[in-house]
Amino acid sequence: MSIETNFMGMKIKSPVIVGSCGLTTDMHTLKRIEQAGAGAVILKSVFEEQILQEMSNSLHLSIDGGNSSEAYYYIEEHIQEQSLDKYLNLIRQAKMELDIPIIASVNCVSSSQWVSFASKIEQAGADGVELNMFLLPSDVNMTTDDVERFYEEVIRNIKRAVNIPVSVKISQYFSSLARFAQKLSWMGIANLHIFNRFAAQDINIDKMEIEAANVFSSPSELPHLIRWTAILSNIVHCPLTSGGGVHKPEDVIKLLLTGANTVQVVSAIYENGTEFIQEANERLQSWMKEHDFEKISDFKGRLSVKNNQYTAFHRVQFMKYFAGIK
């Protein structure tokens, strides 16, 4: 029996991959991630703003056009912690010491000259690059087309700049998500990653201030991911990575059944350690054995939406009989 699969055109030993986060910045943890049996790892993102700043060596960027000061300081701090050279060295070292694919990540909010940095990522030996893209649709002057064009432009530019496979991590916030995801998948990307997660804010009512909300996902996010994995997996023309709300080993099986090619975990590793990866692999193997499956393709996508047929995944409103609650 084998739990091998493909990720961005590479054969990997497990469909469980560790997503971009603070844990994927140091060699010690990366080694533990590999030892625990992850199929691949996505390094912490470098920020487009960071690339531009190092390029121009001066801070004259408009980050969000409005209240940018906090974002600005965050980026400054992040830059001090993690210079681009350090990032490229991490890629080189990880490539020397690990066997699993090492995917670099860039967090981008525009299609500017930062794209040239991607070729340095390639030269450093990264097996691929993931673009963590999000444009908050808060600008009343931007139409749906403007927003979508931004994503397309970035992908076109990055594809011109590198020869390594490109994965695109998107959010669910598109007015026609299925159509747009399909359009992106036609652009020669090697993987579509649903969904990215945002730094969220909370309100401190005593101080009447904005503060950071919990950064980790919760298990209640999984059904949303399952729905979209089921809907998108037969619509997109590239493999799908699903992540956001995976907290139990069984969740990996659920996402494979609904058509994910690979499953990304982050919060579960913060909460349970890298052992979670091993547990997820073992649970997958024991479940496959119980059901007489030899390989992942024997069951992958079995519960996905096929030929646009109407399924339970299309039910979005509460109904008495559906929830079983009066």
Footprint on this chain of ligand FMN (rule: CB under 6 A) = 19-22, 44-45, 105, 107, 132, 169, 196-197, 215-217, 243-246, 265-268
| Secondary structure (3-state) at 129 | strand
Q: Which is nearer to ligand FMN, 1 or 27 (CB)?
A: 27
17 close to 11: Cβ distance less than 8 angstroms: no
- The first and second tokens of residue 250, run together, are 């069984």
CB of 325 to ligand FMN, least distance (A): 26
Q: Which is nearer to ligand FMN, 108 or 293 (CB)?
A: 108
CB of 131 to ligand FMN, least distance (A): 9
Orientation angle between helical segments 177-185 and 144-161, nearest 10 degrees: 20
Q: Which is nearer to ligand FMN, 19 or 259 (CB)?
A: 19
* Burial state string for 58-82 with b = 16 or more CB within 10 A and e = fewer than 16: eeebebeeeeeeebbeebeebbeeb
Give the Cα separation of 38 and 28 in Å (integer): 14
**Residue partners of 67: CB distance under 8 A and separation at least 6:** none
Tokens 């994910």 map to which residue?
260
CB of 1 to ligand FMN, least distance (A): 26
CB of 43 to ligand FMN, least distance (A): 8
HEC string for 229-271: HHHHCCCCCCCEEEECCCCCHHHHHHHHHCCCCEEEECHHHHH
CB of 214 to ligand FMN, least distance (A): 9
Q: Which is nearer to ligand FMN, 269 or 293 (CB)?
A: 269
Q: Which is nearer to ligand FMN, 267 or 304 (CB)?
A: 267
CB of 302 to ligand FMN, least distance (A): 23
Q: Which is nearer to ligand FMN, 47 or 174 (CB)?
A: 47
Q: What is the chain's Cα-based Rg?
A: 20
- The first and second tokens of residue 305, run together, are 């939406």
Report how many helices (DSSP H) and strands (DSSP E) the chain contains, helices first.
Answer: 12, 13
Q: Which is nearer to ligand FMN, 241 or 304 (CB)?
A: 241
CB of 198 to ligand FMN, least distance (A): 9
Give the Cα separation of 105 and 169 in Å (integer): 10
CB of 145 to ligand FMN, least distance (A): 25
Give the Cα separation of 83 and 86 in Å (integer): 5
Q: Which is nearer to ligand FMN, 193 or 300 (CB)?
A: 193
- Element at 70 (helix H, strand E): helix 69-81
